[in-house]
Amino acid sequence: MVVGKIALFSPPMQRIAVFTSGGDAPGMNAHVRAVERTAQKRGLEVIGIIGGYAGMIAGHYEVLDRIRTANILDRGGTVLKTSRCEEFHKPEGRAKAVEQLRKHGIDGVVACGGDGTFHGAHFLAKEHGVRIVGTPGTIDNDLWGTDFTIGYDTAINTAAQAIDKIRDTADSHGRLFFVEVMGRHAGFIAVDVGVACGAEYIAVPETMTDIEVLYQRIMAQGLHKRTVVIVGEGDQSGGAMQLARRIEDAYGIGSKVSILGHMQRGGAPTVRDRVLAARLGAAAVDALLDGHTNVMIGEHNGDIAFVPLEQTWNQRKSVPPYLLDLATLLV
């Protein structure tokens, strides 16, 4: 027995399932397509579970083939739909899910999502022996063990395009703008778009926001006339609205607030996300066939990586310090 693998005497695989769960991410459809195409080439039947863990419990299963997965590469969202399922948090709910998996003859599962999805996959493997691998599908890029997650590249490009447009207005009207981007626990999106768009200050969960430093940045060389501050939604200040209020209360400086929100999740995936999604989808199928289970299939330094699911949330993935230093240097 090898850690992260099933016993050699386990029965051969004939039918696998794939599903998407948690927040949608651009590239999930390219991932589903890659799983279907790879599995078919390997002689496996592929089932799509519709609606994440809720669909797994309810028995919403659909056969996937070339026709069903055609012309979905460039589509945002997920054709398999997604959900957040409270019932699955309970052992009874997970038992119902396993009953449906067995009823439909599923030998292995590919789960695409973030840390919540991986927690569920881990429980299925540990409690019921389900052969399951995860692939990282989240725009936050906050899963340890993979350099990038599916959807991240599209999200930062979407955010950068929006911020470029906001800066035009900030410059035209001489206004201070606080722009909030997604990232509940990690500031990857905020730092990357902040550097790319020339933000005067970037507030992220990894660092304490210094109001005095922010004020000095706003006032430096008259930048208050055309200043853009990027705020990660998980910043300890409480987000863009709270940070804007603190600046106005402390220094009397008014501002405009723009919360980009869920627009960062939508839209056609970039080429980078399509390729990453395809590579991880194909690798996930081969990982199941090779006996891997209870692991995430990621990409590290250009190579496919097999990471125990528990490590993806037990180890914190933080923004590289050099990016934070670069953001300060280029102000």
Q: Does one domain contain both 81 and 41?
A: yes
Q: Residue 270: CA atoms inside 13 Å, Cβ hemisphere, count? A: 17
- Ranges of beta strands (E only) in 50-157 are 61-64, 108-113, 132-136
Q: Does one domain contain both 112 and 196?
A: no
Q: Does one domain contain both 113 and 183?
A: no
- The residues carrying an active-site annotation are 140
Residue 257 in any domain: the answer is yes
Which phi and psi angles does 149 have, rounded to 5°?
A: -105, 155
Q: How many residues does the chain have?
A: 331
Q: Does one domain contain both 211 and 306?
A: no
**Which among 97, 53, 104, 37 is positioned nearest to 285, based on CA atoms?**
37
Burial class (CB in 10 A: 0-12, 13-18, 19+), 86: exposed
Q: Does one domain contain both 23 and 141?
A: yes
Q: Does one domain contain both 196 and 249?
A: yes
Q: Does one domain contain both 138 and 196?
A: no
Give the bridge partners for 307, in sequence order. Answer: 296
pLDDT at 221: 57
Average pLDDT, the chain: 93
Tell whether the model's pLDDT for residue 310 goes beyond 60.
yes
Residue 175 in any domain: the answer is yes
Tell whether the model's pLDDT for residue 220 goes beyond 90.
no
Give SS3 for 62: strand
CATH number of the domain at 174, please: 3.40.50.460
Residue 50 in any domain: the answer is yes
Residue 208 in any domain: the answer is yes
CA distance 110 to 275: 18
Which tens digits make up the pLDDT trace of 7-62? Answer: 444 678 999 999 999 999 999 999 999 999 999 999 999 999 999 999 999 999 99
Domain that holds residue 309: 15-151+269-314
Q: How many domains does the chain have?
A: 2
CA distance 210 to 50: 45
Arithmetic mean of pLDDT, 80-91: 94
Tell whether the model's pLDDT for residue 223 goes beyond 80.
no
Asked which of 240, 265, 290 is the last residue of a domain, the reply is 265
Residue 4 in any domain: the answer is no
Which tens digits make up the pLDDT trace of 257-303? Answer: 999 999 999 999 999 999 999 999 999 999 999 999 999 999 999 99
pLDDT at 8: 43
Residue 99 in any domain: the answer is yes
Residue 331 in any domain: the answer is no
pLDDT at 6: 58
Which tens digits make up the pLDDT trace of 159-213? Answer: 999 999 999 998 888 889 999 999 888 899 999 999 999 999 999 988 889 999 9
